[in-house]
Amino acid sequence: MTTPAVSPVLPYLDIMDPAFRPDGAEVTAARAAHWCARTPIGFAVLRYDKLAELLADRRLRQGTYRILTAQGLTEGPLVEWMNSVILSVEGDDHTRLRRLVSRAFTPRAIAELRPRMIEIANELVDSFLDAGRVDFMEAFADPYPARVICELLGVPREQHDAFRGWANDLGLAFSFTVADNLERIEAALAGLHAATDELLAERRARPTGDLLSALIAAEADGSRLSTEELRTMVTALLFAGQDTTSHQIGNAIAMFLRHPEQWALLARQPELAAQAVDEVIRVAPTSPLNSRIATEDLEVDGVAIPADSHLSLFATAGNTDPAVFGADADRFDITASRRPLLTFGGGIHYCLGAHLTRVEMAEALPLLARRLGPIELDGDPTWRPATGIAGPVTLPIRFRREAP
């Protein structure tokens, strides 16, 4: 099939430049010029309507693994893991895996953890409340989702810190800095695999009521998860349930630091929690880009996209598209009613953990706003690469509780 040439007027975004930001001015300018831009590895999709359309297009397959190949990594433990997680699997295998996991990873199981989420959040706040200052990432954002997902899966308490450290290191695999951190990332993956194998052996011998036992027992149409699939699924859940949520909570606090009036409003009106969570995820998502690969030649609104092209789907740009969200699309407002978010993807690859992340944040944020009172920066934060799983590494804050 002969396809027309790609228009030479498409803007260009160097997404592999370490200084590139998915929410930067050059992205805003590119979105204003066209729905599509060129990148060093393919195309970027920048407008809400096109993103919503292409996220659900079955002619595109998930393409996160291309982050590795773009950096010259085509083999090894990390490549094997990335290619086998449910995020990357397609077709009948994806459908089977998702059906099996959904039988265990249910909204009911998550809802039953809500009281425990509140207990964990209060316990963590108690540990630093009297100090008046804290590195928020170290004291709360990192341990809170780690403890929740570990308790959901049934990881023993004494192993929580180890699993949290491995998950944090594995998060670097989704950035364009993999080559510089490969030894650290693969060491984390090896640690996760070994510890997960021990947990699986224990649960097979002595099933309990946790998610790990439910995954082992899950069956659909006569099929169960194989040992290798269980290992991959559990490591992926442990990673995603900690690292992405941790940095999303960090992004939330960073956003509220810039909007203290919204923080005070959340403290007064905790019923705004769900809207506040969605507003944070809209304007400051920890996963600003989704990746897809064209499985055939496409033409989308006059742009020729050859088969095997990589598409970077800019959730951040779509979530703040003025054509959809109005002239003040960048405004952070936890009372606003918005169109559905693009951050969690779409179609068959809609994020399995979206509900868990929303619930964890909805329990934590109003509790923090109420208990900490006004918050301010207490030093310079440090940050993850902006194009990977983005968010603070350190976030020093000070706070002053007000009398009830």
DSSP string, 305-322: E-TT-EEEEEHHHHHT-H
pLDDT of residue 217: 84
CB contact at 8 A, 244 and 287:
yes
For the segment 268-287, the average pLDDT, to the nearest whole number, is 96
Which amino acid is located at 117 in the chain? M
Q: What is the pTM of this model?
A: 0.88
What number of CA atoms fall less than 13 Å from residue 73's CA on the CB side? Answer: 27
CB contact at 8 A, 45 and 51:
yes
Mind listing the domains of the chain with CATH numbers?
25-399 (1.10.630.10)
Q: What does residue 238 show for φ and ψ, rounded to 5 degrees? A: -65, -40
- DSSP H or E run through 233: helix 227-239
The percent of residues above 70 in pLDDT, for the chain, comes to 96
Q: What does residue 290 show for φ and ψ, rounded to 5 degrees? A: -110, 150
SS3 146: helix
SS3 223: strand
135 pLDDT higher than 70: yes
Mean residue pLDDT of the chain comes to 90
65 contacts: CB under 8 Å, gap ≥ 6:
79, 82, 83, 88
Alpha helices per DSSP H over 88-177: 91-104, 107-111, 114-128, 136, 143-153, 160-170
pLDDT of residue 182: 92
Read off the pLDDT of residues 141-184 as tens digits, 9 standing for 90 and up: 999 999 999 988 888 889 988 988 898 888 888 888 888 899 99
Lowest mean pLDDT among 32-46, 57-71, 113-127, 207-221: 207-221
Assign 97 a pLDDT band (cuts: 50, 70, 90).
confident
CB contact at 8 A, 241 and 145:
yes
Which amino acid is located at 391 in the chain? G
For the segment 208-234, the average pLDDT, to the nearest whole number, is 80
Assign 220 a pLDDT band (cuts: 50, 70, 90).
low
For the segment 53-57, the average pLDDT, to the nearest whole number, is 93
> Higher pLDDT residue, 382 or 337?
382
- DSSP H or E run through 193: helix 178-205
- DSSP H or E run through 303: strand 303-305
- Assigned token pair, 307: 């088969």
Assign 365 a pLDDT band (cuts: 50, 70, 90).
very high
- Assigned token pair, 95: 């459908």
- Assigned token pair, 82: 């990335």
Alpha helices per DSSP H over 34-90: 48-55, 66-69, 77-84
Nearest to 296 by CA among 90, 61, 37, 129: 61
- Assigned token pair, 305: 């996209």
The neighbour count for residue 332, using CB atoms within 10 Å, is 17
Read off the pLDDT of residues 314-323 as tens digits, 9 standing for 90 and up: 999 999 999 9
Q: What does the DSSP 8-state code read for residue 254?
A: H
Q: What does residue 287 show for φ and ψ, rounded to 5 degrees? A: -120, 85
How far apart, in Å, are the Cα atoms of 208 and each of 2, 62, 115, 219, 377?
Answer: 58, 34, 20, 17, 43
pLDDT of residue 6: 45
236 pLDDT higher than 60: yes
- DSSP H or E run through 376: strand 375-377
Assign 349 a pLDDT band (cuts: 50, 70, 90).
confident
Beta sheet of 289-294, edge-to-edge order = 36-39, 42-45, 310-314, 289-294, 60-62
> Higher pLDDT residue, 21 or 5?
21
Question: Quick one: the chain helix, strand, coil %, rounded to 5?
Answer: 55, 10, 35
For the segment 287-301, the average pLDDT, to the nearest whole number, is 93
216 pLDDT higher than 90: no
392 contacts: CB under 8 Å, gap ≥ 6:
136, 137, 141, 247, 250, 251, 253, 254, 381, 382, 383, 384
- Assigned token pair, 180: 């510089």
Assign 8 a pLDDT band (cuts: 50, 70, 90).
low
Assign 347 a pLDDT band (cuts: 50, 70, 90).
confident
| Burial degree of 80 (CB within 10 A; 0-12, 13-18, 19+) | exposed
404 pLDDT higher than 50: no
Q: Quote the CA–CA distance of 192 and 83 in Å, as a whole number.
A: 17
